[in-house]
Amino acid sequence: MIQFNHVSKRYGATHDILSDVSFHLEKGEMAFLTGRSGAGKSTLLKMMAMLERPTSGQIVVNERQLCQMKRRHIPELRRDIGIIFQNYKLLNDRTVFDNVALPLIISDAFDRREMARRVRAALDMVGLLSYESALPMTLSGGEQQRVGIARAVVNRPLILLADEPTGNLDPVLSREIMHVFEQFNRVGVTVLVASHDVKLIKEMAYPVLAIDQGKVVRKDLTSQSGSARHG
Amino acid sequence: MDSRQKRDTLGARNAGSRGFLFRMHIFVQRHLHALFASLGQLWRSPLATLMTTFTMAVTLALPAGLLLIVKSTEQVATSWQGEPQISVYIEPSSSEVAIKELIAKIEAHTAVSVLEKISPELGLASFSKLMEMEGVLDLLGGNPLPYVVVLKVEKGFGSSDQLAAWQAELGAMPGVDWVQLDMAWLERLDAILNVFERGVGLIAIFLALAVLMTIGNTIRLSILNRFEEIEVMKLVGAKDAFIRRPFLYGGFWLGLMSGVIALLLLFVSYLLLLGPMQQVLSLYGAMFDLPFEVLAQVTFVVLSGAMLLGWLGAWLAVGRQMSRIEPS
C-alpha cells in the first residue's frame, strides 16, 4: 500500500532531512512512526500525500507512483488518504459540521442526507456530536484535534496518516482516539501514526518505523501482542 | 456508537456512488449551492461589492451610451425632414410629348413626395432674377437651360445606398441627360457615424479590458482572503474545478450586477437628456425616438457582455492564483 524506495529529502543545499529511506507498509497494516522532534516524521507523512516531493527516490502509494504523478491527479490521491495534522488545519469561520463535511462536499458524490448521516457518525465516533454547530475556535486543542480526526475518517479513506494526533489529548482520550484508528484498521484501512509518545506506542504494540539520523528502521512488535489486539 | 452509526462511518467506501441521475442531481445541487454561496459572499461585504460594481457599471455605461447615441443618430437621420432632393436634367432635344411621358414615369415612383417641373423658360427667369441680370437671353442668343424635374423623396425612403441606386435607375431612362442627387450631407453624416461607430468599438474594447482587470483584481483579493480555505480544500482532495467554481460564479454575479447598474445609469441619463434633445431636434424638424429593437439590442449587449466579462475576469484571476496556492 505504501512503499518508499531509497527516498531522500534535502532542504536547501546541504540539509538532508531524510536520507535513502526504504520501507513498505502492507494494505490494512497499522504502524507508528517515531523519532525525535525535527527528525522528519512530518516530512515523511507529507510526501505520501504529495504535500512535499522527495529530492530523490521512488514513493508508491496505493499503486500510484508519486514521483511521476501529474498535478491534476493529486486530488484523487488525497481523497484516498485521510490526514490528521498536528496543527488541525480547520476552517475557523465554519462550524464543526461543515469542517467535517468538507471531504464529502468536494467529492460531489453524496446528497445532503447521506452527508449529514456520515458527518454525525464521524463526530459521534470522536465524541463531539453535541458540538456540530460550534465554531472550531470555541473548542479546546484536544477537541479541535478530534474534529480533525473526524474530518480525516468521514470519507472512509484507504489510508489514514496521523501527525501527532494525541499531542493535545489526555491519556484517556489518547487511548480512545487510538481505538478509533484500530477500528478503521480492522476494516482494512492502512494506518500510519507519527508520534513520540513512547508509552502509548509500547502499549499499542504495533510495528514501529523509527527515524534516526535521516534513516528509517522498522521494528516489528506485532508478534508480541498482535493476536490480543485483533481480539 | 450504535451499529448503524458504526456502519455509516466504517462501512463500504463507495456507498456514495450511484447512477447517472443521482450524480446529475448532486452536480446541479453543488452548482446551485456555489451560485448562491458566491452571492452570499458578495452580500457579506456590501461596500466593496458596491464600489466594484459601480466602477464596472460606469465603465460599461460609457461605451453603451455611445452606442445608443450612434443608433439614435442613425434613427434621427432617417427621420430628417430636410430629405434629399434629386434633380433630373432632360435632354434639350426631347419633344414636349416625350418630356410629359418621362415626367409621368418618374412621378409614378413610390418614393416621390413632391415633384417640381422647371421649364427652360422658368429656369432662365429664376436665374436672371437671382443674378440680377435682366436681358441675359439677349446676350446668350438663346436659352441654353434644359428642362429640369426636381424631386423630393418620400420621408424615410431609405439609406444613401438606395438613393444612389434610384439615381442610377433615373439616369438610365431614355431622354434623361443627367441626374444630380443632393445627398452630400447624408454621405457626410454616414461617414461621421462610421468613424464614430469604430471609435465606440475601440473604446468598448479598451473599457472591456478595464472591466476584466477590475474583476480580476476583485477576485484575486477574494482568493487571497480565502487562502486558508483553499489550502484546506486542496489538502482534503478538492480539484481545481471545484475550488474555482464559487469564484467564477462570483465574477458572474459582479458582471450581472454591474450590467444592471449600467443600464440604470443609461436610463437616468436618457431621461435627463430627452427634453433638451427633443428641443434641439424639433428646430430641424426631426423627432427623437428610441425604438424597442434598439433598446433591446443595447440591453442584451450590456447584460451579456457584463456577465461574460465578469466570468472571464474571474477565470483569468483564479487560473493565475490557483497554481500558486499549494498546501504545506
Three-state SS letters, B108-130: CCCCEEEEEEECHHHHHHHHHHH
B257 has a pLDDT exceeding 90: yes
pLDDT confidence tier of residue A220, bands split at 50, 70 and 90 = low
Determine the average pLDDT of the residues in B31-39: 89
A188 has a pLDDT exceeding 50: yes
B264 has a pLDDT exceeding 90: yes
pLDDT at res. B15: 45
Q: Which of A121-130, B72-81, B114-123, B191-200 has the lowest mean pLDDT?
A: B72-81
pLDDT at res. B81: 47
Determine the average pLDDT of the residues in A109-115: 83
B235 has a pLDDT exceeding 80: yes
A116 has a pLDDT exceeding 90: yes
> Which of residues A209 and B154 earns the better pLDDT score?
A209
Distance CA B97, CA B120 (A): 15
pLDDT confidence tier of residue B262, bands split at 50, 70 and 90 = very high
Let me know if B97 is exposed, middle or buried by CB neighbors in 10 A (0-12, 13-18, 19+).
exposed
Q: What percent of chain B has pLDDT over 70?
A: 83
- CB distance from A32 to chain B under 8 Å? no
pLDDT at res. A223: 42
pLDDT confidence tier of residue B259, bands split at 50, 70 and 90 = very high
Q: Do B237 and A109 touch (CB under 8 A)?
A: no
Q: Do A79 and B242 touch (CB under 8 A)?
A: no
pLDDT at res. B156: 67
**Phi, psi for A199 (deg, rounded to 5):** -60, -45
B75 has a pLDDT exceeding 60: yes
pLDDT at res. B57: 92
Instruction: Tell me which range, A117-126, B24-33, B142-151, is most confidently predicted by mean pLDDT.
Output: A117-126
Distance from CA of A110 to the nearest CA of B (A): 5
A230 has a pLDDT exceeding 50: no
Distance CA B224, CA B216 (A): 12
Distance CA B185, CA B309 (A): 39
Residues of B within an 8 Å Cβ radius of A: 1, 5-6, 8-13, 15-17, 22-23, 25-27, 29-30, 228-229, 231-240, 242, 326-328
Best A102, A151, A154, A163 member to test B by mutation, with max B CBs in 10 Å, is: A102
Q: What SS3 class is residue A48?
A: helix
How far lies B231's CA from each of A51, B324, B326, in Å?
Answer: 11, 10, 6
B137 has a pLDDT exceeding 70: no
Q: What SS3 class is residue B322?
A: helix
pLDDT at res. A201: 85
How far lies B327's CA from each of A130, B130, B225, B230, B314, in Å?
Answer: 30, 92, 15, 8, 22
pLDDT at res. B77: 66
A102 has a pLDDT exceeding 70: yes
B12 has a pLDDT exceeding 90: no
Question: Which chain B residues are within 8 Å of A157, Cβ to Cβ?
Answer: 13
Does the reported pTM lie above 0.95? no
Residue of A79, A114, A158 with shortest CB distance to B237: A79
Best A106, A126, A161 member to test B by mutation, with max B CBs in 10 Å, is: A106
How far lies A175's CA from each of A132, A166, A210, B14, in Å?
Answer: 23, 9, 21, 29
> Which of residues A203 and B80 earns the better pLDDT score?
A203
Q: What percent of chain A has pLDDT over 70?
A: 94
B111 has a pLDDT exceeding 80: no
> Which of residues B12 and B19 earns the better pLDDT score?
B19
- CB distance from A105 to chain B under 8 Å? yes
Residue range A30-59, pLDDT digits in tens: 999 998 887 888 889 999 998 888 888 999
Question: Which chain A residues are within 8 Å of B242, Cβ to Cβ?
Answer: 106, 108
Helix axes B184-225, B292-322, angle to 10 degrees: 30
- CB distance from A119 to chain B under 8 Å? no
Q: Which of A129-143, B240-254, B281-295 has the lowest mean pLDDT?
A: B281-295
